[in-house]
Amino acid sequence: MTVHSRSGVIPTGTTTFYTMIGRPIIQVKDHFKHMRSMTNFGGCLVAIPHKRAALHFMDEISERSKDLLSANVVRVEKGRLIGDMVNGLGFMVAVKTHGLSMRGKRAAIIGGGGAGAAIALAIAQSGADEIVIKDSIPLMRRLTSHPLQCYKTPYEHDRKKPSTQPSGAEHPG
């Protein structure tokens, strides 16, 4: 298995170790309950299909998690579980690291779901002028756009612009 998270290299002043804890969805509740009592355990990353289910077992959730209805990071603090959804935050760190800004920009989100929604929300909060969401599954497009409804940033699903290319020369995407 390859772990492709940059979370472990973000300076936190702590030694971080990652291991996969595979749990069937019916055992997730027991896993979170057990996490509360573990010593020297700071939390976990949550992956599909447990991001939405994780919210039900948290003592506290961030505003991002409330908006996105999911959590991909769980911190354990004094026996309390605190959920957050940080995909959008990570995306914006990468944008800023490259000296870029989303303010006044147009953005396209290719692929919906939890991470897509988190990134779309972060882009909207950063002042983007427009967001276009593309996903082959209509439900995923709606879930991705749901948190954007309280922002002024206009968003569209699979917007089609009139082509300026000669007939038959349009890009298939």
pLDDT at 169: 44
What's the half-sphere exposure (Cβ side, CA atoms, 13 Å) at 122?
A: 21
How many Å apart are CA 85 and CA 91, to the nearest integer?
12
Q: Could you read off the pLDDT tens digit of each residue along the chain, which spans 173 residues?
A: 334 445 544 545 566 666 666 767 667 788 888 888 887 788 888 888 888 888 989 999 999 999 888 999 999 988 899 999 999 999 999 999 999 999 999 998 887 778 888 999 999 999 998 888 888 877 777 666 766 665 555 555 554 444 444 444 444 44
CA angle 161, 162, 166 (to 5 degrees): 130
Is 39 within 8 Å of 31 (Cβ atoms)?
no
Sign of CA dihedral 47, 23, 36, 51: positive
C-alpha pair distances (Å), 39 with each of 46, 66, 128, 164: 19, 28, 42, 62
How many Å apart are CA 114 and CA 71, to the nearest integer?
9
pLDDT at 146: 66
Q: Provide the annotated active-site residues.
A: 51
Please name each of the domains of the chain with its CATH number: 18-85 (3.40.50.10860), 88-157 (3.40.50.720)
Token pair belonging to 100? 């870029």
pLDDT at 17: 61
pLDDT at 133: 83
